Amino acid sequence: MRIYDDIQLDYCDVLLRPKRSRLASRSEVDVLREYSFKWCPHPLNATGIIASNMATTGTFEIAREMQKQHLLCALHKHYTAGELISFLEKNKTEFGNNDLLFVSSGVSDADYEKLTAVMDSGLVRNICIDVANGYSPYLISYVHKVRAAWPEALIMAGNVVTGDMCEDLILNGADVIKVGIGPGSVCTTRKLTGVGRPQFSTVIECADAAHGVGGMVCADGGCTVPGDVCKSLCAGADFVMLGGMLAGHEESGGDLCTKYIQTDEVDLLDDKTCALKIEEKQYKTFYGMSSAFAQEKHYGGMKKYRASEGKLVQIPFRGPIEPTLLALLGGIRSCMTYIGAKRLKDMPKCATFYRVNRQLNTIFGNE
């Protein structure tokens, strides 16, 4: 039995070391990066945060808000080709192009047919090919087929967690490799299968391998706060994909519901008696794309040979997404000034990490 002895780290296991810097203020840093790719000949100007192609975060509404901040969105694959095309037409009028949007595809024949219909519209260039297990032979052959069909497309494919597989996928036509198995906020793969790898170490190894052959990586899953996104970018991620951090907003998918919560406070009444204090709180559903709920909702039931590898949660409603995005960008800018990185691309080269036992003081709660 072979056991890898190297310590495998998550975002919570490290902190960034501040450095003497010539940057006096956050306004001096540039969070926009000009990306150029191995296969896709078209450069992209963006801050590499991508809304996950989950049904609750890869929505048209989130896509609009992301683009306003020069961020990206992978539209989910449960929209029909017609819905995607009419959105892409409108979006192009509003933003001038669809450069910050990905259309998503699985690897089945039906997925290819739909992808062809959308790509043939000429409205979009970026494709996110997404399977839970990127080690399946279908992924590499599908990437190959998509590259042959659309030589100028920007192809992102995943998910894997090892350098060798990143290299294979890039050499077969992918520009960006989506890395992460099991770190997601509503993912239960690790619980069910025992498979996965801590995300920080995944990003370091995969970025190194991908960059070595001219490709890039997108760190997918496991970010819980803006600081995790900063650590990911510093570890070498060219893009970071977010699900949970963008869920629960006005623009997110999922049903809104009201709950009445009993607090640990009481109301003192005029007659000096007390009444329980009940708070009305709104929640929005958020679910993993391989959860039993998603399989029921989007595929009309769960196949017998499949197990649920995701969960359904109700998270407190967070209102409009814009303040969340601005806080995220503010966090990245501030991180850049702490470590002396003037450009987003410089973050890994400016970063040094401490391995830590405890990163947050939670005496007054986790907020």
Residue 96 near residue 104 (C-beta atoms within 8 A): no
The 3 state secondary structure assigned to 64-101 is HHHHHCCCEEEECCCCCHHHHHHHHHHHHHHHCCCCCE
Q: Which of 123, 176, 187, 235 binds ligand 5GP (CB under 6 A)?
A: 187
Q: Which of 198, 226, 236, 243 binds ligand 5GP (CB under 6 A)?
A: 243
Q: Which of 134, 221, 226, 236 binds ligand 5GP (CB under 6 A)?
A: 221
Q: Closer to ligand 5GP by CB, 293 or 338: give it.
A: 293
Residue 170 near residue 38 (C-beta atoms within 8 A): yes
Q: What is residue 14's three-state secondary structure?
A: strand
Q: Which of 134, 173, 236, 244 binds ligand 5GP (CB under 6 A)?
A: 244
- 290 scored as a contact of ligand 5GP (CB under 6 A): yes
Specify the residue for token string 């989007």: 298
Is 350 an active-site residue?
no
From 73, 187, 218, 223, active-site residue: 187
- 248 scored as a contact of ligand 5GP (CB under 6 A): no
Select the span of 30-38, 177-185, 320-328, 349-357 touching ligand 5GP (CB under 6 A). 177-185
Distance CA 246, CA 330 (A): 16
- 324 scored as a contact of ligand 5GP (CB under 6 A): no
- 184 scored as a contact of ligand 5GP (CB under 6 A): yes
- 217 scored as a contact of ligand 5GP (CB under 6 A): no
Angle between helices 322-339 and 60-68 (to 10 degrees): 40
Residue 192 near residue 233 (C-beta atoms within 8 A): no
Residue 168 near residue 175 (C-beta atoms within 8 A): no
Residues at the interface with ligand 5GP (CB under 6 A)? 52, 54, 132, 159, 180, 182, 184-187, 189, 220-223, 241-245, 288-291, 309-310
Q: Could you list the active site residues?
A: 187
